[in-house]
Structure 1
Amino acid sequence: MLTYLLRRLAILVVSIVIAAMILFLFLRLLPGDPANALVSVGADPEQIEAARRQVGSNLPLSQQFLQFISGLLRFDFGNSFVSQAPVLPEIARRLSVTVPLTVLSFLIAIAIALPLGIVAAAKSNRWYGSAISIVSQLGIAVPVFWIGILLVTVFAVNLRIFPSGGFPARGWMRPDAALEALALPVATISIVMAASLIRYVRSAAQDVLGSDYLRTARALGATYPEALIRHGIRNGSVPVISIMGIELASTLLGAVVVERVFSLPGLGSMLLLGIEQRDYPVVQGVLFISTLLVLIVGFLADIAQRLIDPRLRSRIGGSDA
């Protein structure tokens, strides 16, 4: 297992380097010069050249890449072209909104999807099992922004229970206000994520309930709950963990829509603002941090699968031998 862990860590590092290279080349292939963000319309050639020297776009591409990689290694993403403020502290401030939004939504979605998915599989011949499957399909089909608008209309405009958007200026210094501001955004993401997860939990549970090893355990005297807990959950959780990792990563990247609907100062809003203002350091920093988080989530999901499933661990031991 240790050998496999080290190998996966090496793959993670290589993936981060490749992602950084792709990010650098992608941004440099976009039309226009990043120096244009520093000069006004009608600027003379001397002003444009001075701006290019300031942002480093006058240097050869190889030298720009070395500076880019050097900054990443030091977690120095430079200063914003617009505000002249360091990018990393602003990313950290925005992450204090995006990460709790994503994690809370993920945990609530799991708490909803696991029991409902199992019920939908075990009681597929009952009306409520079919109803769960139908509702989950509807939840996947409905756009996330529409659910957000619906929740705002009901709980913020009509009932006035939660705020319609925004985030407290003091942030998590006032946890009650912060949680209240995140209530509707978290509910929006949780509904969509739970609807998607229910399908996969239902499929995995159906495979477990129809498996030979579960029937064998019952034949050896184990009760249905005992057989399900000791044998079914571990085997059924392996594909679900993989899907959970994908859902968590996609939610982290897709939070921009929900942040837009609820006017949250998160990472997605920062990315959109950076794109609109052609603020390259901001765009580079946000995309790299987002990619890094997604790769780490995938790494942790893969390790969790190996820890839960003894068959995967035995394959690792066999390959390492």
Structure 2
Amino acid sequence: MLVYIARRLAILFFSLLAACVVLFILLRLLPGDPANSLISVGADEAQIAAARRQVGSDLPLAQQFLQFITSLARFDLGTSFISRTPVLPEIMDRLAVTLPLTVLSFLLALVIAVPLGILSAVKADRWYGAAISVVSQLGIAIPVFWVGILLVTLFAVNLRLFPSGGFPPRGWGAPVEALRTLFLPILTIAIVMSASLLRYVRSATQDVLGSDYLRTARALGAGFSEALVRHGIRNGAVPVMSILGIELATALLGAVVVERVFNLPGLGSMLLLAIEQRDYPNIQGVLFISTLLVLLIGFLADLGQRLVDPRLRESRGARS
């Protein structure tokens, strides 16, 4: 197990390094010079040269890349061109909104998708089993921002039960108010995510229902519910586990759109504002942290799948 974890950590490290290389190249391919955000219209050559020295764009690309990687290794994400404040503390403040939004949306999606997916598979011959499948298809087809607008119209504008956007100035110092503010964004992401996740749960449950080990358990005297709970759910969870990491990473990336709809001060809003202002350190910092989080999610999902399925431990242990 330790050998496998070490191997996965090495893969994570080299994946992050490759992502940093791609990030560096893509940002340098953008039109214009990063120093342009520091100078005003009509600046003379001396001011332009001073601005380029300040941001380091006057250096050769190889030296810029070396400084870029060295700074990331120290977890120094630089200083914003616009606000003149360190990027990392700003990202940490924004993560206090984005991470709860992502995790709570994911948990709510699981609460919705798992029981409904199992029910739609077990009762596929009933009208409500088919109805659940149809509704899930509809949920996949609707864009996440449209779901957000519908929820705002219903719960914020018409019923006035929840705020339509923003985040309390005290943040999580006022937990009830913060949760009320995040309820509609959480519900928006969870609806779209659960529609996709439900299909995987339904497919995995159908495979379990047609398996030999479930029929054997029934033949040995176990009731249907007992056989499904004791033998079916764990085996059905194995293929779903590989999807959960993807869905959680998708929820993190989807928060960019939802934060814009609900005017939340999260990573998504920070990234969009940085792009508008051509604030390269903020863009680099947000993309680096987002990439790191996505890779960590994949790493943890792979470990979770290995813990759930002992066959993976045996097969990979034999290879190592």
TM-score, normalised on structure 2?
Answer: 0.98
The answer to whether 1:112 aligns with 2:112 is yes
**Aligned-residue offset at 1:74:** 1.4
Partner of 1:202: 202
| Aligned equivalents of 1:185, 1:205: Cα separation in 2 | 30
Partner of 2:173: 173
Partner of 1:302: 302
| Aligned equivalents of 2:90, 2:112: Cα separation in 1 | 34
Task: Give, as a single letter, the amino acid of the residue that structure 2 aligns with 1:268.
Answer: G
| Aligned equivalents of 1:77, 1:150: Cα separation in 2 | 38
**Structure 1 outlier segments of 4+, above 6 Å:** none
Classify the secondary structure of the residue corresponding to 1:40. coil
| Aligned equivalents of 2:307, 2:313: Cα separation in 1 | 7
| Aligned equivalents of 1:311, 1:217: Cα separation in 2 | 20
Which string of whole-angstrom CA distances, capped at 9 and with x for unpartnered residues, describes residues 83-124 of structure 1? Answer: 101000000000000000000000000000000000000000
- Give identity over the alignment, percent: 73
Partner of 1:36: 36
Partner of 1:85: 85
Classify the secondary structure of the residue corresponding to 1:83. coil
Task: Give, as a single letter, the amino acid of the residue that structure 1 aligns with 2:33.
Answer: D
| Aligned equivalents of 1:43, 1:200: Cα separation in 2 | 58
- Say which is worse superposed, 9-18 or 223-232, in terms of deviation: 223-232
| Aligned equivalents of 2:34, 2:242: Cα separation in 1 | 39
Task: Give, as a single letter, the amino acid of the residue that structure 2 aligns with 1:159.
Answer: L
Task: Give, as a single letter, the amino acid of the residue that structure 2 aligns with 1:225.
Answer: S
Partner of 2:23: 23
**Aligned-residue offset at 1:213:** 1.2
Partner of 2:11: 11
The answer to whether 1:49 aligns with 2:49 is yes
Partner of 1:59: 59
**Aligned-residue offset at 1:77:** 0.7
Partner of 2:258: 258
Task: Give, as a single letter, the amino acid of the residue that structure 1 aligns with 2:308.
Answer: I
Classify the secondary structure of the residue corresponding to 1:222. coil
Task: Give, as a single letter, the amino acid of the residue that structure 2 aligns with 1:262.
Answer: F
Which string of whole-angstrom CA distances, capped at 9 and with x for unpartnered residues, describes residues 220-268 of structure 1? Answer: 2222222222221111111111111101101101211110110000000
TM-score, normalised on structure 1?
Answer: 0.98
Classify the secondary structure of the residue corresponding to 1:236. helix
**Aligned-residue offset at 1:5:** 1.2
Partner of 2:243: 243
Stretches of structure 2 that go unaligned for 5 or more consecutive residues are none
Alignment of 1:203-282 (within 5 A): 203-282=203-282
Aligned length: 320
**Aligned-residue offset at 1:151:** 0.8
| Aligned equivalents of 2:47, 2:22: Cα separation in 1 | 30
| Aligned equivalents of 1:117, 1:159: Cα separation in 2 | 30
| Aligned equivalents of 1:79, 1:208: Cα separation in 2 | 53
Task: Give, as a single letter, the amino acid of the residue that structure 1 aligns with 2:189.
Answer: I
Classify the secondary structure of the residue corresponding to 1:108. helix
Stretches of structure 1 that go unaligned for 5 or more consecutive residues are none
The answer to whether 1:192 aligns with 2:155 is no
2:246 and 2:298 in contact (8 A); partners too: yes
Partner of 1:148: 148
What CA RMSD, in Å, does the superposition of the two structures yield over aligned residues?
Answer: 0.9
Which string of whole-angstrom CA distances, capped at 9 and with x for unpartnered residues, describes residues 169-192 of structure 1? Answer: 111011111101001100111110
| Aligned equivalents of 1:225, 1:57: Cα separation in 2 | 65
| Aligned equivalents of 1:256, 1:13: Cα separation in 2 | 25
